[in-house]
Amino acid sequence: MADYKYMLTERKGNVGIVTFNRPEAMNALNEEVEIEVTDALMAFDADDSIGCMILAGGDKAFCAGADLKWIASKEFPEAFRTDMAAYMDQVAELRKPVIAAVRGYAFGGGTEISLMCDMILADTTAKFGLTEVTLGVIPGGGGTQRMSHRIGKYKAMRYILTGEWIDAVEAERIGLITQVVEDGKLMDEAMALATKIANNPRLSVLAGKEVVNQQAEMPLTEGRKVERRLFHALFGTPDFKEGTAAFAEKRKPNYTKY
């Protein structure tokens, strides 16, 4: 892994962990942070020894959004020319699953990058919100689209147009996040979930993520066709043969490590 200024990375077995490390700014995003968090996750995605990833933050803030000192001076020509905020789109395109482990503030870009992940675990200190409207702008990292997909148009309208905060309990109730976990147990729960995923056959995990994500991008009929083709294709993998044989023989499967 590369040396990062604002990210910490570590491996625990077949799980890769990327942690925001800009505590003096509550892990706020600037151009360098956006590049580093994306590159760190992409590096684990390309690592054959890693089966799942966790994106974490600090105790006070997961990621408090964009650094206002960075964006306040921006003008339309520069933002448009550089396609500002587009680099992190690659997080949503990673093939391996990513779990966001959220503690503390996750506002603006912090909510947006968590929504790019495949699952979100949060403890009761977590606060989500697309607060950009209160600054005279709107989310630019896919927040309006992903929140609308996740919780529906009418709830999304409320939070996007008011900038209201959403605590972890409410976020779970409306389907914005996967699960609220007990304070002090966030990383333990995230690691347990990531390890369970990473220990499953790699190709079936990749295929499962791909078809679930397709559901949000295409009509049901087309999504079902993609699902069925990948379902058929997995019949030809050694892991499928091993998994079914182990089940029949009542033993633990010995899956191929891709």
Beta strands at 7-12 and 15-20: parallel, antiparallel or unpaired? antiparallel
Among the options 109, 142, 208, 243, which is catalytic?
A: 109
Domain range annotation of the chain:
7-198, 202-248
**Which tens digits make up the pLDDT trace of 118-153?**
999 999 999 999 999 888 888 888 899 899 989 999
CB 73 within 8 A of CB 79: no
Scanning the structure block, which residue is given the tokens 């109730």? 173
Respond yes or no: is residue 66 known to be catalytic: yes
Percent of the chain residues topping a pLDDT of 90: 67
> Across the strands, what pairs with 100?
55, 120
The CA distance from 12 to 165, in Å, is 33
Respond yes or no: is residue 109 known to be catalytic: yes
DSSP calls for 139-151: --SSHHHHHHHHH
Respond yes or no: is residue 79 known to be catalytic: no
Among the options 34, 36, 132, 172, which is catalytic?
A: 132
Quickly state the pLDDT bin for 69 (edges 50, 70, 90): confident
CA torsion angle 107 112 117 121 (round to 10): 20
Say if residue 213 is exposed, middle or buried (CB neighbours under 10 Å; 0-12, 13-18, 19+).
middle
Residue 217: per-residue pLDDT: 67
**Which tens digits make up the pLDDT trace of 17-68?**
999 999 999 999 999 999 999 999 999 999 999 999 999 999 999 999 988 8
Among the options 64, 66, 100, 126, which is catalytic?
A: 66
The reply to whether CATH 3.90.226.10 applies to domain 7-198 is yes
In the predicted model, what is the mean pLDDT of the chain?
Answer: 91
> Which one has a higher pLDDT value, 232 or 115?
115
pTM of the model as a whole: 0.89
Residue 182: per-residue pLDDT: 94
CB 27 within 8 A of CB 12: no
- The SS3 assignment for 184 reads coil
**Which tens digits make up the pLDDT trace of 186-224?**
999 999 999 999 999 999 999 999 989 887 666 667 766
pLDDT at 258 over 60: no
**Which tens digits make up the pLDDT trace of 71-117?**
877 788 888 888 888 899 999 999 999 999 999 999 999 999 999 99
Let me know the angle formed at the C-alpha of 102 by 96 and 106, rounded to the nearest 5 degrees.
Answer: 110
Respond yes or no: is residue 172 known to be catalytic: no
Say if residue 153 is exposed, middle or buried (CB neighbours under 10 Å; 0-12, 13-18, 19+).
exposed
Residue 47: per-residue pLDDT: 96
Residue 256: per-residue pLDDT: 77
